[in-house]
Amino acid sequence: MIQTKIRHGISDRESSYSMKTIKNQEKSGPVVIARNEHEISRKLISPNALRVLYRLKDNGFAGYLVGGCVRDLLLGREPKDFDVVTDATPGEVKRIFRNCRLVGRRFRLAHIHFQNEIIELATFRSQAPDEPETETEPKEADGAEQRRHSRMLKDDDGMILRDNVYGTPEEDALRRDFTVNSLSYNIADFSIIDYTGGLADLNAGIIRTIGDPDVRFQEDPVRMLRAVRFAAQLGFTIEEKTRKALVAAADTIVRAAAPRLFDEMLKLLLSGEGAKCYDLLRQTGLFQALFPDFANWLSEESEGFPHTRFGEMLECVDSRVQQGTRVSPPLLLALLFGEYIDGKTGRFRQQGMPWQQSVNAAVAEFMGETCPIIMITNRVAIALREIISQQMRLKKIPGRRPESFTARDDFNDIIEYCRITRGDKKDVARLLDWWTAQSRQQEPVPVPAELAAAGEAPQRKKRRRRRRKPNTKNRTEAE
């Protein structure tokens, strides 16, 4: 019988469906859970997603909610976003929705823009190529021919480069990554449709690829990171065959686009389960492949002690995310890699470089190691460098123009980094309290005596007046 140990959204009424029925669904068709047999209510669905679904229905098209939102609703979790699929082509979607923007070349999607939300709308897709790439079609009115790009395109290693072959709801479900992400909610009759055994895996707490995991990870290496994230976030277990394929293919993660890997790493480390994600990444070999130099440094000892700060910072970030506190990407990177960058800074300082130049060189070296695999954006890299370099400015109170320092956009991240990494020291805590009070007041805050006595408030040096040179030319003429 279908179990309810995970549930949290699957009704006892679903127990009328046997496990045998679900396992044999490929032969007998999909499992369809009627509205009175599940607990997904339209009250739990985004009003904007409902508007999209009903607009499609009113125009004679099918409309399904798919993917993570259906999974999360069944688990009693609040979905972060709502994805919709339809049998309408992108052009037809564009004609139906005035607030539509077509995006993407690898995967052609429609973004339906609302005031505070974007609903992603895709056309049912199929894995099968529909045309050879060598076909030609007229390029211009003069009849000149050009090579037509196939709507399904893979590279020599089997990775999907383009996937715009449209298909049926079943084909669309079978091309998704994991069974628990293939469930559909049909707006026509409010039923749940399962083509892949996703309900059984959802109840068993299993992450399983749809089809051969070796092929699925070859088609898109990022699926390995998604398997890790879903297992950590949901508390699920990666199915054994899927896990073996993941470990075997871990080194191929570097084939994925570097900017995409950066986005996926942010999702992993800011998921609220970053420590669990790291454990799975390390166990499967993905972490070594993504951060080879940093992973080697982590495995070494410093003065006889292991590097434990990385794990401590992951737990700190997880705690903040779970409490609803936002952690910016630059602050995240500073917390996780700050000790590593500090070591590089110290090495440059020993070579005689000034503080700021040492930090600049250390961050540049870190970026040179990381960006070929994980492309950290230039904006985030600059903010990371500023968080680390401005730690020296905190020691100068009040210093020159303290109001300009507290007005910086990254002031809170600078303070938080220092508070998290060194806030357990009393003198540092007093220093940060003074800066925090300074940022909240219109007028300057008096410097505490103990900080002034410690030499933290140096007196401004008087500028020496420049001596004027005598005008020897006029003197010569006068003589």
Neighbours of 376 (CB within 10 A): 20
How far apart are the two ends of the chain, measured CA to CA in Å? 116
> Tokens 């507290």 appear where?
406
Tokens standing for 354?
């000034």
Catalytic residue among 72, 83, 163, 201: 83
Beta bridge partners, 85, equal: 64, 122
Amino acid in position 469: K
Contact between 133 and 140 (Cβ < 8 Å) = no
Report how far residue 223's alpha carbon sits from residue 221's, in angstroms, rounded to the nearest whole number. 5
Dihedral sign for Cα atoms in the order 32, 35, 36, 40: positive
Catalytic residue among 172, 177, 318, 410: 177
**Burial of 463 by CB count in 10 Å (0-12 exposed, 13-18 middle, 19+ buried)?**
exposed
Q: 69 phi and psi, to 5 degrees?
A: -65, -40
Closest Cα to residue 132, out of 115, 117, 146, 149? Answer: 149
Report how far residue 221's alpha carbon sits from residue 252's, in angstroms, rounded to the nearest whole number. 7
Residues in Cβ contact with 131 at an 8 Å cutoff, skipping those fewer than 6 apart:
148, 150, 151
> What is the chain's length?
479
Neighbours of 459 (CB within 10 A): 5
Residues in Cβ contact with 144 at an 8 Å cutoff, skipping those fewer than 6 apart:
138
109-113, strands of its sheet edge to edge: 31-33, 191-194, 184-186, 63-66, 83-86, 118-123, 109-113, 100-103
83 an active-site residue? yes
The 3 state secondary structure assigned to 192-255 is: EEECCCHHHHHHHCEECECCCHHHHHHHCCHHHHHHHHHHHHHCCEECHHHHHHHHHHHHHHHH
In order of 71, 82, 163, 204, 247, the CA distances from 7 in angstroms are: 11, 20, 34, 10, 30
Dihedral sign for Cα atoms in the order 24, 42, 71, 217: positive
> Tokens 């790439």 appear where?
133
* Catalytically annotated residues: 81, 83, 177
